[in-house]
Structure 1
Amino acid sequence: MTRQLASALLAGALAFAVADQAGAACSPENWQECEGKPWVTGKAETPIGSKWWPNPQWGEGDEAGATNWYTKPEVVRRGLAEADRGRAYRIGRPYEADMPLFGSRKFSLRIPGTPTGGPFGANRIIWHDEFLATEVGQVGTQFDGLGHIGVMIGREGDKDEMRFYNGFSETEVGAPYGLRKLGTEKLHPIVGRGILIDVAGAKGVEMLDAGYEITMADVRAALARQGMADFRFAEGDVVLFHTGWGKLWKVDNAKYNSGCPGIGMEVARWLSDEVRAGVVGADTWPVEAVPNPDPACAFCVHQHLITRHGILLHENLFLDELAADGVYRFLYVFSPAPIVGATGSMGAPLAID
C-alpha cells in the first residue's frame, strides 16, 4: 500500500475510532448498529445490509453476474447499433513495470534468452517467449471479477461466514491455486452499449480532486452538457466515468495512488437499481472516491456493485480521447481472460463509435 493511501486510511480509521469512543454506535465491531448508513441496504443483517443471496435476477448458483446481460441478443444489438462511424478507441492502457500499482502488487516481464529458442529447420526459425510474474487480474487496466470482493459477516477467521457474490462462502470459493467458484472463466464476453459520463468536462476542470464524490447532480449536469439530458439508460449498459485523474498515469504515480475522485453510494444505487448496468468503469484505480467522505466506509461501492449485484468494475481506463472527441455513446467490447480461478482480468477493452 502506498504511504499516501495508508496515511489517508489511517487518518480515517483514527477519526472513526475517536467518534466511536465519543458514543457513535456504528463501528467495525458493532456493524449491526450501522443501519441507515449509505452502504447498508435494508436491515443490517450483514455489514452491508440485508442478505443478497440468492441473486434475484440470475438465480441461485449463478457465477456470471451482470455479464449474463450480454447473452441477450437485444443487449448485444443495442451496443452494435452505436458503431456507425467505424472509429475504434483503445481504452485500456499498456502494461509495463513502471505503471502505477496498488499496494505491493508487481508486474515483472522477462524474455527467457534472446532469442528464446531455435534455430530449427532448413528455414532456421527462431522465436521469443515471455515469462510474466504479476497479479494477472489486478494490475494496470483491470477488470474486477466476482471473486475479488466479499464481506466478513461472522467472527474473524470464520470462512463459512465470509460471503461473496450470490452468497458463496470463502469455504466454497477460496483456494491457493485458483478460486473454486467465481473465477473469471465463468464470465461471459461483453458486447454492449457504452456510455461515457464526462464529469471533469462538465465542471470545466482538467481533473477532479482526490476524494471528490460524484453525485447524481453531477451526473445529470454532465449528461445535459453532452446533449443527453433525456437519454434513457437500459439494462446491461456499460457506464464509464471520466474524472481526468488518468492524466497522472506514469506522470505522478505517487499522487495517482494516493486517492482519487469517483462515485459514491448515491450513484452506485442509481447504477444498480435504475440503470441496471452490466459494467461500471472509470479512469481511476477503484472507480469510487478515495478517501470516502465517511471514514467508516472502506470500498463500500465495490461491495454494493460486485458483491450484492454482480456488476463488474473496469478500472484504470484511458478515457481522455473519448472525452476530447466528444464520443459519449459507443460499442464497448471486452472479453475477460478465461483464466480458471482468477479474481480479475487484464486485457484491451475497445470503444467503437
Structure 2
Amino acid sequence: MSILRFTGYLAAILLGTQPAMADEKWWPSPWGADDEAGNTNYMTPAKTLAATALIKQGVVVKLGHDYHAEMPIPVGRVFALRIPGAPTSKPLGSNRVIYNDEFLTAEIGQVGTQMDGFGHMGLTLGDEADRTKMTFYNGVTAQQMMTPRGLIKNGVEKLKPIFTRGILIDLEGGLGHTLAAGYEVTVDDINKTLAWQGMSADDIQPGDALLLHTGWGRLWMVDNQKYASGEPGPGQAAATWLAGKKLVLVGMDNWSIDVMPNKNAPDIAVPAHITLLLKNGILLHENLKLSDLASRQQYQFAYIFTPLPIRGATGSPGSPIAVY
C-alpha cells in the first residue's frame, strides 16, 4: 500500500463523513455547555499527587520522536526548517557575537509526534456546505468556531496541562506478536494484555492517560513507506470501551490511532476519533515512541505533557515524557 493510500486515509479523517454515527447528539459535555477543556478537567491537584507517587527511581523516558524532514509525513504536508544566513547575524559588538535564528514551516496534524485537540474533528450533520451543521466537541459549530486565522472556540490553548498517571498496555508483548496494519484492537485484546501485565481493567481510573503499544512504531525511520501504509488500532467496540474509562487521553505508536484499513466497517471513517475525541472529550496522542517503556516492562508512570498554547490551533506538537 502506497503513501498515496496514506493520504486517502487522511482525507477521510478530514472529511469526517459518518452517516451511521451522525444522528446521535453527544453534547452538552458533562463538564458544562461552555466547556472547551474536555477531560483535561480531570487534572486536579489530587490527580497530580497520585501520579507523583509513581515516581520511585527518577527515570525520565521521552515518548516523542525527533522532528525532521525525513520522518514519515503525509504527501502534501511539510516540515521545513531553515537557518537564514547560517549564521543569521553578522558579528555584533566589540566581542563579535554571532547568533542563529530559524524559520520553521509545518502543519501540526500527522507531522511527527502530536496531539489532536478538540477543533480537529467534527461531523457534518446536514448539507456539506452548511457551516451551522458542521459540529465539533460540545456541539460547537464551524460557524461559531472557525476563522481562517485560527479557532475562536475549542482551540488547543484551552486545554489544561497534563500531569497524570500513565498506563502502558503492551499489546505486542501480551499478544505475542507485532500488530499488523488493519488489525483491529479488541476489548478482549486489552483485557488479555492487562492480565499478562498483572493488571485489570479496574486499575484504570478517570483522568488516566492510556498508551497502547502495538509494535507498529518500530517501523519509524526503518520503513517509512510501510509505516504510512496503514496501522493497527481500535475499532468502534474498543473505542466505546475506552471512552467508558473517562480517560484524559489515548496515545499510540501509530499515526492516527484508528485501525487502517478498517475491514470490519469500511464505510465508517475514523470511529475512534469520533467516539473518543469528538464525543467524549478524550485527547489523542499520535506517533508516540513506546518501545522503550515496553522493553523495560514499565506499565505505570507519571505522564506529563503541556500542549503548546498556540491560540486557535487544532492540535499540538511536542514530546510527552514518562517518569517513574
Common fold: TM-score over 0.5: yes
Q: 2:31 aligns with which of 37, 41, 58?
A: 58
1:84-107 CA distance string (max 9 Å, x none): 111100000000001111342110
Structure 1 residues 8 and 88 mapped into 2: Cα distance closer, same or farther (>3 Å)? Answer: closer
Match of 2:49 among 57, 69, 77: 77
Contact 1:110-1:132 within 8 A present in 2 as well:
yes
Asked if the contact 2:191–2:201 (Cα under 8 Å) also holds between the matched residues in 1, the reply is: no
Please give the secondary structure, in 2, of the residue aligned with 1:132.
strand
CA distance in 2, matches of 1:348, 1:338: 14
Q: Which digits, 9 at most, give the CA deviation of each residue in 1:35-56, with x for residues without a partner?
A: xxxxx4xxxxxx1x4211111x
> 5+ residue gaps in structure 1?
13-27, 35-39, 41-46
Give matches, 1:1-353, under 5 Å.
Answer: 2-5=3-6, 31=19, 34=20, 40=21, 47=22, 49-55=23-29, 57-70=30-43, 72-205=44-177, 207-229=178-200, 231-273=202-244, 275-292=245-262, 293-353=264-324
* Structure-2 separation of matches of 1:230 and 1:307: 23
* Residue correspondences, number: 318
Q: Letter of the 2:31 partner, please give it.
A: W
Does structure 2 retain, via aligned residues, the 8 Å contact 1:173–1:182? yes
1:156 maps to a residue whose letter is E
Deviations along 1:174-209, one digit per CA (max 9) or x if unpaired, are: 11111111111111110000000001111212x211
Cα 1:338–1:152, aligned 2, differ >3 Å: closer, same or farther?
same
Contact 1:137–1:342 under 8 Å retained in 2: no
Distance 1:345 1:9 in 2: 17
Change (3 A) 1:161 1:291: same
TM-score computed with the length of structure 1 as normaliser: 0.86
Give the CA deviation at 1:7: 7.2
Q: Secondary structure at the match of 2:151?
A: coil
Tell me which amino acid in the other structure corresponds to 1:54.
P
Q: In the alignment, is the contact (CA less than 8 A) between 1:138 and 1:344 conserved in 2? A: no
CA contact (8 A) 1:185 1:341 kept: yes
Contact 1:9 1:291 in 2 (8 A): no
| Structure-2 change in CA distance of 1:52 and 1:103 (3 Å) | farther
Distance 1:323 1:347 in 2: 21
| Distance (whole Å) between structure 1 residues aligned to residue 48 and residue 184 of structure 2 | 31
Counterpart of 2:132 in 1: which secondary structure?
Answer: helix
TM-score (norm 2): 0.93
Change over 3 Å in CA distance of 1:284–1:115 after alignment to 2: same
Is the 2:303–2:320 contact (alpha carbons within 8 Å) kept by the matching residues of 1? yes
Contact preservation (8 Å) 2:26, 2:139: yes
SS in 2 for 1:217: helix
Percent identity, aligned pairs only?
47
Deviation at 1:230, TM superposition (A): 6.5
RMSD: 1.9
Return the letter of the residue paired with 1:67: T
Structure 1 residue 168 displacement after superposition: 0.6
Question: Relative to structure 2, which stretch is displaced further, 149-158 or 109-118?
Answer: 109-118
